[in-house]
Amino acid sequence: MKKSLLFFLLFSAVFVYGQQYAQITEREGKKCYVHTVADGNNLYGLQQMYACPAEDILNMNPGIERGFTTGEVVFIPIQRRTVKHTVVEKETLYAVSKMYDVSMDSIVKYNPTAKNGLKLDQRLTIPNAVAQIQTDRMVTLPDVRQQEIPKPSAAAQAKFKISFSDAIVSHVVLPQESLYTLSKRFMVPVPELQALNNLKSSRVNPGQTVKIPIKKEKVELVQIRPVPPKKEAEVKDELQFQARKSFEIALFLPLNLDSTATFNRFVSNAALEYYMGAKLAMDSLDHLGLNATFHVYDYESANENLSAILAKPELLNMDVIFSPLQQREAELASAFARKNELTIAFPVAMKDSALIGNPNAICLSPSSTNLMEQLALSVHHHYVDQTVVLIKGESEGDMKMDQLFLTAFRNVPSSVSKAKIIEATWKTFKQYEYMNDDIIYVVLSSDKAKVLTLLEKYKSNQHVHIYGLKEWLEWKEVSGTLENTYAFTYASPSYFSYHAPPVMTFHKKYRRTYSSDVTRMSCLGYDATLMVCRQLISQTNKQTGIISNYQLTQQGIGNGFQNTAGFILDFKGFESKPE
């Protein structure tokens, strides 16, 4: 039985303006499209669709030269190239840069007018871009399709024993079939089918004969059969674990017990606090009837680094792995778990790429997207008929958060709230401060000087409400300066307060056990361990922890589980409380 730390979000497979594009992940140090094989898929079709040489596909996916199995995942190495992009309504320079995985500076360099903002239907030239593969139509962008794809070298053809000569098959259209379904089945773009069959539209009728170009090496494997009624793919509601009498669980922590040269006492202390909380969770699980052996690995040890630990044969028998608490190490453990189909849980935020194509991954911290969705809902809930002002940031990170919030805000239906939003800048926002009796500013910026000026300006104005970021609490001017009685609302993956009833109860137990005060890390260790391990004895995707809420949701078919529950907190009087 098998399943999958840290902050940040990687947009790799999203719906952009109503269109679904191929997921993107990283494999063996290379960015790849993630393709799930459908009936009729062949190597030539994938080469054409993704504009990637078949030789590169074969080298990335050993064994596929023997044929595809429906449902298996194939990784397609990304070939960066120059594309043309037409700007759509409300599209921003930041959104375009993320869509094609290039910097905004690069876009402006080749499109100087973009510096002043994008205009509807503006054509942009984007070099070194990651082309978008539109999976809801199973076609590539026209600019990509027109580029010549080199055939495999003689060495590759000899190695893989493949043939690349063209063939045409005749197919009689069956009931419920369309040109779109034929395009998906045979991996041939709809325009190509239209051109070959002199079709002026995409309409075909039952009994009509359609010519389909296909490659000889897969012709005999294509099954022509009636198309059953469309069924919606189901996303699992619960994590699934096989019933066992006992379980093996691995816990990776940077304890640094033998003090290596790179010793960081703050990291080591945090890891120890996490373990102390996890140990109390283990005791609770024992009382719940879980028969499990916990293996704790110190990957900052002088004797064994993480790579050496992962090479141990015993790791292959783990039912659950709790990943390391740092980004680089977590990614190594994630790759190990993916390769060996092991369940891996990330106690803190992790990149989306850890969940894509890995149904055995569990991220226990809400992503930035989830937090912005909850913040947007909070704004709508409190200001259903008012106008909100978003003060847009100037850095790339600020622009990313602004875009996440805008998307979430606009996705709330008018039946829930009729609140509107105005996009302003740091130079123009003041013109809206007398627009209504109550002014609502959303500021998702990490520009310390500007944010502190804003908080100072309105700290005594009861009619101004500011929505911001949890990161502001890390500034001593906000949390440690008595004269700065700032107030704002923010979204957080957890809520830790010594005055919160769950923390007070746990604090008593923690103090009795360790003669020490409870910390945020110890609460996190307890919550994460208890949450995941309870799944081994019962399916309970929704739980309330000491400082965390959990609502695990699978991120699409074949992907991992993401916790989508967080907290909306009001910071006032130097203390955060649930709104």
Question: Are 277 and 214 members of one domain?
Answer: no
Last residue of a domain, one of 492, 522, 547: 492
CB 389 within 8 A of CB 379: no
Residue 55 lies in a domain: yes
pLDDT for res 448? 94
pLDDT of residue 537: 77
Q: Is the Cβ–Cβ distance between 214 and 186 less than 8 Å?
A: yes
Residue 196 forms part of a structural domain: yes
* 555 within a domain of the structure (yes/no): no
Q: Is residue 549 part of a domain?
A: no
How far is the CA of 307 from the CAs of 227, 326, 348, 357, 528, in angstroms?
48, 14, 21, 23, 24
d(CA 66, CA 52): 19
d(CA 483, CA 472): 16
539 is a domain residue: no
Q: In this structure, are 108 and 156 located in the same domain?
A: yes
With beta carbons less than 8 A apart as the criterion, state whether 367 and 408 touch. no
Instruction: Tell me: do 278 and 408 sit in the same domain.
Output: no
CATH number for the domain that contains residue 428:
3.40.50.2300
Which CATH number belongs to the domain containing residue 207 in this structure?
3.10.350.10
| 219 or 574, higher pLDDT | 574
Q: Are residues 199 and 293 in the same domain?
A: no
Q: Same domain, yes or no, for 256 and 324?
A: yes
Residue 73 shares a structural domain with residue 153: yes
Residue 358 belongs to what H/E stretch? none
Structural domain of 46: 15-160
Least confident segment among 5-19, 79-93, 304-318: 5-19
Both 62 and 94 in one domain: the answer is yes
- The structural domain count of the chain equals 4
Q: Check whether residue 374 and residue 350 sit in a common domain.
A: no
Quote the DSSP letter at residue 200. Answer: S
**What is the distance between the alpha carbons of residues 58 and 291, in angstroms, rounded to a whole number?**
44
Query: Does position 14 have pLDDT exceeding 50, yes or no?
Result: no
Which two three-digit tokens encode residue 431? 């013109």
pTM score, two decimals?
A: 0.60
Q: 152 pLDDT band (50/70/90 cuts)?
A: low
**Which of 477, 492, 507 represents a domain boundary (last residue)?**
492
Over residues 123-130, mean pLDDT: 90
Q: Does residue 475 share a domain with residue 392? A: yes
Q: Tell which residue, 267, 247, 243, has the closest CA to residue 257.
A: 267
CA-angle at 14, arms to 12 and 17, nearest 5°: 135
Q: Residue range 559-569: average pLDDT?
A: 90
Is residue 184 within 8 A of residue 135, CB to CB? The reply is no
Residue at 570 is within a domain: no
Residue range 430-485, pLDDT digits in tens = 888 777 778 999 999 999 999 999 999 998 888 899 999 999 999 999 988 777 78
Q: Same domain, yes or no, for 257 and 176?
A: no
Residue 284 domain-assigned (yes or no)? yes
Q: Which of 134, 160, 186 is the last residue of a domain?
A: 160
Domain assignment present for residue 209? The answer is: yes
Instruction: Of 58-72, 143-157, 297-311, give the lowest mean pLDDT range.
Output: 143-157
The letter for the amino acid at 435 is M
Query: Do 42 and 88 have their domain in common?
Result: yes
Do residues 44 and 136 both lie within one domain? Answer: yes
